[in-house]
Amino acid sequence: MEQSNLVASLTEEVTEWRHHLHEIPELCYEERETAAFVAERLREFGFDEVHEGIGKTGVVGVLHGNNGSGGRRIGLRADMDALPIEEANNPPYRSKNPGVMHACGHDGHTALLLGAAKGLSETRSFDGSVHFFFQPAEEGGAGAKAMIDDGLFDKFDVDEVYGLHNVPGVPVGHFHIRPGPLMAAADQFTITVRTAGGHAAAPHETVDSVIVGAQIILALQALVSRETNATNSAVLTITQLKGSDANNVIPSEVVMTGTLRTLDANDRTRIEKRISEVSKGIASAMGASAEIDYEYGYPATVNHLDQTQFAAKIAADLVGADKVEDNCPPVMPSEDFAYMLEEKPGAYIFLGNGDTAACHMPDYDFADEAIPYGVGFWIKLIEKALPA
């Protein structure tokens, strides 16, 4: 069957799967109903192997080509988890789980990969094996790392691995990708400033912890604007400052929290060190003390050159070169597919979601119009990477 006809024959069913998954959103490591649905479909498709419980709630399906299990192996990944957000939309397939919704399109990602799984199982027009990774807990739970730690690449070794994510604001039928850093490392930190505290009417009798905190906040901004190469992207944002609950008290403790986003590993370690030096130095100079608790999050998502070029060509073959941006600007959100790219050569590509609300917003929804492009991309990638 021609690929375009195959994708067209799958689109209605994939849309139904997407709507069903949207109705049953589940949070990090709670994706039991979603995982069961995925595993059931893979068995229906006649997959050679279906494994559940990888990285707690992950599912891995193995499909061999016409010539059996020999040859190269490609990994394709989709994330399954949802977010703790109350859905503002009211489609017929609205979330049935109060306070939980698919606000980032993981229902779409899972359905797209299931569609490709069904299409490839029907034709098996490739040589080698495809490992389908349905991953839990992308939204802050490091599900990719959990699967790797659970022996993902020991049990299901691959030569290359690919991932896909929808992007609101990019037209449906368009793809964006770039070699090198595509998404940022995301760390978080807490700075606690301590002084004796005192009465707000007598600041001269103590050290004002709020003023110390304010000076630290201002100084930290220079770590990006004045200490980081202007050609390197980095973001340092203080998101909270908490002191006293009373308007007549200088608190003995002020707590600030923030996030650091970097694309370059050297910037990441350097700025972490400087956050501590600057905070402690200013606090000491003003007669206070500062304690820093720094927590590393996901590393930067770094695409490998050869696989990026290959994925861009697949997309161009599918939709035309004029609809593929193969050197898009990097973005500063993070993505735990980065852990897989640290282990294996591969690439992460963005699929246009059209004029929809941004991800993580209560009025977001995955664009069903993007389904043929996502399914078609996966099928074409496998047939070209593992030619029969």
- Marked catalytic residue, from 26, 138, 267, 336: 138
CA distance 335 to 112: 18
Whether the CB-CB separation of 184 and 261 falls below 8 Å is answered with yes
Whether the CB-CB separation of 102 and 82 falls below 8 Å is answered with yes
Q: Quick count: other Cβ atoms within 10 Å of Cβ 151?
A: 11
Q: Are strands 160-167 and 324-325 parallel, antiparallel or unpaired?
A: unpaired
Phi and psi at 64, nearest 5°, equal -95, 150
Active-site residue flag, 81: yes
> Which residue is listed with tokens 């078609």?
376
Q: What is residue 126's three-state secondary structure?
A: strand
Whether the CB-CB separation of 283 and 176 falls below 8 Å is answered with no
CA distance 179 to 166: 18
CA distance 60 to 386: 19
DSSP code for 139: S
- Marked catalytic residue, from 81, 160, 335, 336: 81
Whether the CB-CB separation of 100 and 27 falls below 8 Å is answered with yes
Extract the tokens encoding 335: 């993505």
Active-site residue flag, 30: no
CA distance 145 to 135: 10
The DSSP result for 212-228, as a single string, is HHHHHHHHHHHHHHTTS
CA distance 198 to 181: 48
Q: Quick count: other Cβ atoms within 10 Å of Cβ 357?
A: 16
Q: What single letter denotes the amino acid at residue 223?
A: L
CA distance 132 to 88: 32
By annotation, the residues acting in catalysis are: 81, 138
